[in-house]
């Protein structure tokens, strides 16, 4: 019985830890700053995004990939942490950066058509001196 309880407890702790971990798919670079990203390229991944994540490490984020350039819309329903979002054109140039509030149902729209969106911790772009016009490389 004790062995079962310990096994259950270990499995529960592992699942809890893994459920909050961001699985890195790739790395991107902006002005020499490296970000480890999870790529959201399917409708399901894009819909879920970073919902229910309680923290991101300093240089972690999510890269949303769309099929073509268009006005992109995001919201923060069920997203528990404040995020910055950079909208990128098809060449990877940052065309807009916005800060998004946790749990907000406000719609955050790209000012121009974009093909990618990169989400990181709120304040990350400013603290790393990343601005509109900078290029994201992968």
Q: Residue 119: which CATH number?
A: 2.60.120.1140
Q: Confidence class of residue 22 from pLDDT cuts 50, 70 and 90?
A: low
Which residues have CB under 8 Å from 71's CB, separation 6+? 109, 110, 112, 113, 114
Residue 97 scores a pLDDT above 50: yes
Full residue range of the structural domain in which residue 60 is found: 23-137
Handedness of CA 128, 84, 97, 49 (dihedral sign): positive
pLDDT of residue 2: 43
**Which has more confidence, 5 or 103?**
103
Domain assignment of residue 14, yes or no: no
Decide which of 28 and 53 is more confident.
Answer: 28
Is the pLDDT at 3 greater than 70? The verdict is no
For tokens 């959201």, name the residue: 40
In a domain, 17, yes or no: no
DSSP state of 43: H
58-89: per-residue pLDDT in tens?
999 999 999 999 999 999 999 999 999 999 99
Asked whether residue 10 is assigned to any structural domain, the reply reads: no
Dihedrals φ, ψ of 65, to 5°?
A: -120, 125
CA 106, CA 74: separation in Å to the nearest integer? 8
Tally of structural domains, the chain: 1
What is the average pLDDT across 4-25?
43
42: in domain: yes
pLDDT confidence tier of residue 16, bands split at 50, 70 and 90 = very low
Q: Is the pLDDT of residue 29 over 70?
A: yes
Q: Is 1 domain-assigned?
A: no
Q: What is the mean pLDDT of the chain?
A: 86
Strand pairing report for 33-40 and 94-100: unpaired
Q: Is the pLDDT of residue 39 over 80?
A: yes
Token pair, residue 104, equals 């907000």
Q: Which of 3-17, 23-37, 56-70 has the lowest mean pLDDT?
A: 3-17
Nearest residue to 85 via CA among 62, 102, 67, 68 = 62
User: Is residue 11 included in any domain, yes or no?
Assistant: no
Residue 5 lies in a domain: no
């Amino acid at each position: 019985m004790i062995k079962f309880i310990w096994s259950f407890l270990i499995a529960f702790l592992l699942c809890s830890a893994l459920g909050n971990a961001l699985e890195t798919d790739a790395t991107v670079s902006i002005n020499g700053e490296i970000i480890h990203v999870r790529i959201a390229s399917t409708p399901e991944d894009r819909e879920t995004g970073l919902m229910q994540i309680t923290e991101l490490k300093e240089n972690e984020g999510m890269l949303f990939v769309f099929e073509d350039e268009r006005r992109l819309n995001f919201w923060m329903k069920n997203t528990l942490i404040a995020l910055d979002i950079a909208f990128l054109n098809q060449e990877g140039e940052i065309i807009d950066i916005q800060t998004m509030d946790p749990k907000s149902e406000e719609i955050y729209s790209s000012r121009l058509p974009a093909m990618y969106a990169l989400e990181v911790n709120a304040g990350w772009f400013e603290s790393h001196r990343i601005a509109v016009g900078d290029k994201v490389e992968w």
